[in-house]
Structure 1
Amino acid sequence: MLHIDRRSLRFRLLAWLGGVALFVVMTTWLLHGILLQNLARDFLGERLQREADHAVTQLEQGEAAMPAALDSVSRGYQVFHHLYVLRLNGSVSASNPQWQQQLAPLLEENGDALLDVKQGDQHLLVYRRHFEWQGSNGVLLVGEDFSQVEAGLATLHWWVGGIAAGLLVMLITLNMLAVNRSLTPLWQLRGQLAELQAGERERLSLTAPAELDALVAQLNRFMDDIDLRLQRSRESFANLSHALKTPLAAVTQVLRGNRPIDENRRQKLLSRIEAINAQLDAELRRSRIAGPNAGRMANVTRDSSRLIEMFRSLYPERMFNLTHSAHEKDQVPIEAHDFSEIVGIVLDNAGKWASRRVHCDIAVSATTLTLTIDDDGLGVAEEDLSRLGERGTRLDERRPGYGLGLSILAQLIARYSGHSHFERSPLGGLRVTIILPLAGEMAN
């Protein structure tokens, strides 16, 4: 039994196109029948009117007595028409006495008109003409049997219906061919997706309609993002393996040794364990970077306000201020956790080194997000500004840390195709400016 998937795009297109084609053909056929009959009726009515006018003209120009005139009209209309009825001076003459009684009421009505008279299966088309003849008012009815014409029109109409049915079948067949050909790129896409799943190809590459360009490009970006996350995961494990092997071996050796652990050695062990913990925390933070293809949005006002409140509680002796111009575009295409990491790393760094004040400004335009954070600390020497963000670099040992936060920040900014700038702040400390694009393609 043939299975029809009513959810398929092919079925829906064929159903809609077939329905539209059927509606158009049926409407055209019905209109053809109506217009054809009206055209025939108007044509015969105009001919009856001309011949009625001709008969009246003959009567008005004739000088014969009334019986001779009636005979003349009778002989003429018996040749050219099925019937006539003429009333003049109270006398009524008809070419077919059977219709005289049926058409008599029409003689009493006023006005010239084309009339339809039906009796049984017979349909008569009658034109009524009022006139004056020798000071008398007369009425002439000229009629023709319309039934035979209608029978011919019906035959023609059904022939046209047969031709229309053939055209409908041809149109549906052409629709099927057009739909099947148009859906070929989708079938190719399905095949290439199966090849991707089987590991037989790495990217999608097909000649697709313009409507599928964005879909193919987005799927390829997802593929690039998956590869990048896999590469980053492997690099993180390699970094952890390399960074933790030596300190873990040293700690294990000390713990297995027979020498007593004095205060100096205990502090060294604690420092190594803290370094291991910092390394683990940094790599975990790197592993949580989602990137621009995650399909998540950050709420600038809500997320930045929440971070400011958190750092006010972490650094109660510092004053954190926030200004932003994001009310018209609160939602930005940056993953919420990534946005919190970017702002949080810079705020945390400013909170550690500020004397009293930290100011954060966030500006959102149609194409970019600009984050500017100032502190009133001691700042960084001009020659050391270029070294900020290097992995493991610490320019001052007076505050706790391992120099990993700004390197994570640099990776986050790179994932969003942004850039950062470090300079002297008007408050006296360090100014960090981060610009992230919000429109166009972002680097994977």
Structure 2
Amino acid sequence: MRDLARDFLGDRLREEAEYTLEKFRREPTASPLLAAPTSLSAKVFHHLYVLRLDGEVTTSHPTWLETLYPLLDGGEDALIDVHRQGNHLLVYRLPFSIAGHEGTLIVGESFDRVEAGLNKLHWWIGLIAGLVLLLLIGLNLLAVRAGLDPIAQLQRQLEELRQGTRKRLQLTMPTELEPLITQLNRLMDAQENRLKRSRHAVSNLSHALKTPLAAIMQAIRGQRPIGQSRRAKILARLEDMQTQLNAELRRSRIAGADSGQHTFPGRELASLLDMFRTLYPDKTFLSVEMPEAQVRLAMERQDFMEMAGIVLDNAGKWARDTIRIHTTASDGLYMLVEDDGPGVPAEQLARLGQRGRRLDEGLPGHGLGLSILINLLEHYQGTVEFQTPADSGLRVVIHVPAA
């Protein structure tokens, strides 16, 4: 601000000096009157004048002449700060040449009052800035306190969750924290679903194993000798128990959509196809379309391998010669597996996937694979559709939506 005031006053002094010289060009005899203390210019503008014309020096303030006299020797116009006895004078020097006359004109004005006004203004600005700063600090403290209040609410509700008095987080949060609350609720939902699956698996195992175990224990405790036929029945029941146990373990390993894991369906499908081509060397697995290797799917790797493995294994068992696989992963996952086997009558398609139900006993199995597939897809909000193509075989269409 001081520099701005100095430049403004300097421009005014320059304009006054140019005005004085222009008047001197029109009236050469008026130059002494312009510099006199009683001149109109001195009274109106309160300026100090020093004029040297052809070696003769006149001034409107003789007390400053000794200080300003050395400045008359400068060869170019300039704005100069002059200090004397605590006074600050701002002067503008303008050399000139008019009608063969050489001279130098100095026009000056006191800068003390301007500096005094600036000092007063600085104090006011400092006072106002201090008040504004205190106000901002107060508002900032209020904003921080208001911003931390939802965190305190979150802490209280988390403690209620730990104590079992609350099942979900329900509070109004800033936009920045809404994803955090959503993810915490999803995590709790996933934990609850896993607990339900575990309880369901225990219940299923208890129901499925209780009767066969009782029968086996009764047979072993009895006095009757265990013949070959009874031994075969006991072995069959043990195999059923092992199958049921393996199926429930496979269901319990389902991670679900909230696991936060990803897989690369193109890479995993290529690996699975290599394995099934080795497992079924007399069958042809044709991959019509496959996702690119870098495409990711929001599904845990083991879940994807389980899902694709069930479908490909069934197709390999029932196909006569060829299995076609068509897979895209642009918007979620679309997987189509079609075989040229005997197929399934249209009226029995709805029975596919029912737990423990097999439509054909000609090949080994327990009817659990498709039920596990449907259960797995439910955890990813996916769907599976069984179709009978016009020619023959079975077509399985799987869709897993994007996360």
Q: Alignment partner for residue 422 of structure 1, among 374, 386, 401?
A: 386
For residue 333 of structure 2, what is the aligned residue in structure 1?
369
Give yes or no for the alignment of 1:73 onto 2:36.
yes
Question: Could you tell me the TM-score, scaled by structure 1's length?
Answer: 0.81
Q: Distance in 1 between matches of 2:86 and 2:259?
A: 77
For residue 395 of structure 1, what is the aligned residue in structure 2?
359
Seq. identity, %: 49
Letter in 1 for 2:160: E
Q: Distance in 2 between matches of 1:299 and 1:71?
A: 94
For residue 142 of structure 2, what is the aligned residue in structure 1?
177
Letter in 2 for 1:372: L
Q: Distance in 1 between matches of 2:72 and 2:398?
A: 99
Give yes or no for the alignment of 1:386 onto 2:353.
no
For residue 288 of structure 1, what is the aligned residue in structure 2?
253
Q: Distance in 1 between matches of 2:29 and 2:381?
A: 109
Q: Distance in 2 between matches of 1:313 and 1:162?
A: 86
Q: Distance in 2 between matches of 1:114 and 1:157?
A: 25
Q: Could you list the per-position Cα deviations for residues 301-354 of structure 1 after superposition, in whole angstroms to 9, with x for gaps in the alignment?
A: 121122222222333333333343421762110111111111011111122222
Deviates more, 1:182-191 or 1:286-295: 182-191
For residue 180 of structure 2, what is the aligned residue in structure 1?
215
Tell me, yes or no, if the aligned pair for 1:118 and 1:124 is still in contact at 8 Å: yes
Give yes or no for the alignment of 1:190 onto 2:139.
no
Deviates more, 1:310-319 or 1:398-407: 310-319
- 1:71–1:55: structure 2 CA closer, same or farther, 3 Å change rule? closer
Q: Distance in 2 between matches of 1:161 and 1:217?
A: 47
Letter in 1 for 2:257: P
Q: Distance in 1 between matches of 2:34 and 2:372?
A: 117
Give yes or no for the alignment of 1:311 onto 2:288.
no
Deviates more, 1:109-118 or 1:73-82: 73-82
Letter in 1 for 2:221: R
Unaligned residue ranges in structure 2 (runs of 5+): none
For residue 316 of structure 2, what is the aligned residue in structure 1?
351
Tell me, yes or no, if the aligned pair for 2:339 and 2:395 is still in contact at 8 Å: yes
Tell me, yes or no, if the aligned pair for 2:49 and 2:61 is still in contact at 8 Å: yes
Q: Distance in 2 between matches of 1:111 and 1:225?
A: 86
Letter in 2 for 1:103: L
Deviates more, 1:75-84 or 1:320-329: 75-84
Letter in 2 for 1:399: L
Q: Distance in 1 between matches of 2:293 and 2:158?
A: 40
Q: CA deviation at 1:410?
A: 0.9
Give yes or no for the alignment of 1:438 onto 2:402.
yes
Give yes or no for the alignment of 1:277 onto 2:242.
yes
Q: Number of residue pairs matched?
A: 401
Letter in 2 for 1:316: P
Give yes or no for the alignment of 1:253 onto 2:218.
yes
Q: CA deviation at 1:101?
A: 5.0
- 1:347–1:96: structure 2 CA closer, same or farther, 3 Å change rule? same
What value does the CA root-mean-square deviation take over the aligned residues? 2.8
Tell me, yes or no, if the aligned pair for 2:36 and 2:59 is still in contact at 8 Å: no
What secondary structure is seen at the aligned counterpart in 2 of 1:293?
helix
Q: CA deviation at 1:385?
A: 1.4
Residue pairs, 1:112-131, within 5 angstroms: 112-118=77-83, 122-130=87-95
Letter in 2 for 1:41: R
Q: Could you list the per-position Cα deviations for residues 61-83 of structure 1 after superposition, in whole angstroms to 9, with x for gaps in the alignment?
A: 668698xx369624448767574
Question: Could you tell me the TM-score, scaled by structure 2's length?
Answer: 0.89
Q: Could you list the per-position Cα deviations for residues 193-213 of structure 1 after superposition, in whole angstroms to 9, with x for gaps in the alignment?
A: 221112121111112233333
